[in-house]
C-alpha cells in the first residue's frame, strides 16, 4: 500500500475508533512498527491527533477536523439523534438546518415532507435537489471547506424576511460555563442570528460533546429550547436543563 493511501486509512481508522494502539495498527495495516511510528508522528503533527501510552488518539478541543473525518465518528449515534429530532418536524414547517455531521443525518427522515428549509449546509442542499417539495433557501457566504458550509454571514436583515419557526443546531461541544460552542469563526455569526430569530431552537449533540468546548461560544445553554442526544446527559447538565425549562430528549 502506498504511503498516502495508508496514512488516509490510518487516519480514518483512528477517527472512527477515537484511539488505537501501535500494535493494533501494525496488525491491521501489515507494516513494521517503525513505519507505523513514522505515520503516527505525521498525523500528530497535524494537530488533530495526540500521543497516548502505547498508541494514538483523536485530540479533543483541537482545530476542527475535516467533514468526512467527523462524519464517520459516532455515525450510528448521530443518525439516532436525527431520527429523534425528525419527530419535531411537520409538513409546512419553515426550518433552519445548521451545518454539521449530525444535522446532515436529518435528510433521510424528512426528505418526503413538504418543508421550507433555510440552510448554510452545502451537502444538505445537494441532497435536496431531486425533491421538489423541499423548498431550499441558501444563506450564501464564504465557503468553509472543513464543514462543507457557507459562513461569514454579514447580512442579518436577510433572515428578517423569513418566519423560521424551528432551528436544528449543531455544536463542537457544550459546557455550563461557556455555553454552546463552535470551532469555525466563519459560521458563528450566522448561528448567533438564527438562535435569536427562531421560535424553537433544537440542539442536536452526541453524548461525548458534553463538557467540551470549541473556539467560539455562539449562544448560552439557556437559549436552547430542546436538547436532543443519544443518552442521558451528565447530572449537572440535566439539573441545569430542568432549572431553565429546557426539554431533553435522549435515547438508550
Residues 54, 144 share a domain: no
CB-based contact 19:51 (threshold 8 Å): no
Quote the number of domains for the chain: 2
What pLDDT does residue 66 have?
A: 53
Residue 185 has a pLDDT of 79
pLDDT band at 245 (very low <50, low <70, confident <90, very high): very high
Per-residue pLDDT, averaged over 19-29, amounts to 90
C-alpha cell at 193: 442570528
What is the Cα–Cα distance from 251 to 232, expressed in whole angstroms?
7
Residue identified by cell 463542537 is 172
**49 & 171 share domain:** no
> Is residue 129 one of the residues assigned to a domain?
yes
**Cβ-Cβ contacts under 8 Å for 225 (sequence gap 6 or more):** 200, 201, 202, 246, 247
For residue 226, give the CATH number of its domain. 3.40.50.1360
* In the predicted structure, residue 72 carries a pLDDT above the cut 50: no
**Sign of the alpha-carbon torsion through 99, 238, 250, 134:** negative
As a whole number of angstroms, the distance between CA 34 and CA 38 comes to 6
What average pLDDT does the segment 8-29 reach? 86
What is the per-residue pLDDT for 6? 87
Both 53 and 86 in a single domain?
Answer: no
Report the sign of the C-alpha dihedral through residues 26, 31, 34, 38, in that order: negative
Q: How confident is the model at residue 62 (pLDDT cuts 50, 70, 90)?
A: very low
Do 117 and 222 lie in a common domain? yes
* Among 198, 250, 206, 186, CA closest to 224: 198
Residue 216: per-residue pLDDT: 84
Which residue segment(s) compose the domain that 53 sits in?
3-59
Enumerate the β-bridge partners of residue 228. Answer: 204, 249
| 3-class DSSP state of 239 | helix
Asked which of 59, 86, 106 is the last residue of a domain, the reply is 59
Q: Is the pLDDT of residue 10 over 60?
A: yes
Choose the most confident range, by mean pLDDT, from 4-8, 20-24, 62-66.
Answer: 20-24
* Same domain membership, residue 77 and residue 48: no
Looking at the structure, do residues 73 and 187 belong to the same domain, yes or no?
A: yes
Q: Are residues 231 and 141 in the same domain?
A: yes
Is the predicted pLDDT of residue 64 greater than 80, yes or no? no
User: Are 48 and 100 within one domain?
Assistant: no
> For residue 39, what is the domain's CATH number?
1.10.10.10
Domain end point (choices 59, 82, 97): 59
Cell triple for 231: 443518552
Residues 107 and 9 in one domain: no
In the chain, the percentage of residues whose pLDDT exceeds 90 is: 52
Amino acid at each position: 500500500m502506498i504511503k498516502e493511501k495508508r496514512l488516509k486509512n490510518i487516519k480514518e481508522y483512528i477517527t472512527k475508533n477515537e484511539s488505537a494502539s501501535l500494535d493494533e495498527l501494525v496488525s491491521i495495516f501489515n507494516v513494521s512498527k517503525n513505519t507505523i511510528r513514522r505515520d503516527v508522528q505525521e498525523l500528530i503533527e497535524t494537530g488533530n491527533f495526540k500521543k497516548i501510552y502505547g498508541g494514538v488518539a483523536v485530540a479533543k478541543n483541537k482545530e476542527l477536523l475535516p467533514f468526512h473525518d467527523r462524519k464517520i465518528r459516532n455515525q450510528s449515534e448521530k443518525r439516532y439523534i436525527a431520527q429523534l429530532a425528525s419527530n419535531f418536524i411537520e409538513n409546512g414547517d419553515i426550518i433552519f438546518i445548521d451545518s454539521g455531521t449530525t444535522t446532515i443525518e436529518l435528510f433521510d427522515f424528512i426528505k418526503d415532507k413538504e418543508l421550507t428549509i433555510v440552510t448554510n449546509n452545502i451537502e444538505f442542499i445537494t441532497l435536496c435537489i431531486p425533491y421538489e417539495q423541499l423548498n431550499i433557501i441558501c444563506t450564501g457566504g464564504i465557503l468553509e471547506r472543513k464543514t462543507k458550509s457557507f459562513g461569514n454571514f454579514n447580512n442579518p436583515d436577510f433572515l428578517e424576511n423569513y418566519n423560521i419557526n424551528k432551528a436544528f443546531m449543531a455544536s463542537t461541544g457544550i459546557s455550563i460555563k461557556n455555553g454552546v460552542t463552535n470551532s469555525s469563526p466563519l459560521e458563528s455569526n450566522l448561528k448567533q442570528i438564527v438562535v435569536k430569530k427562531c421560535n424553537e431552537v433544537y440542539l442536536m449533540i452526541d453524548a461525548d460533546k458534553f463538557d467540551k468546548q470549541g473556539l467560539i461560544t455562539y449562544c448560552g445553554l439557556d437559549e436552547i429550547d430542546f436538547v436532543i442526544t443519544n443518552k442521558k446527559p451528565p447530572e449537572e447538565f440535566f439539573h441545569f436543563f430542568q432549572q431553565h425549562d429546557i426539554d431533553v430528549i435522549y435515547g438508550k
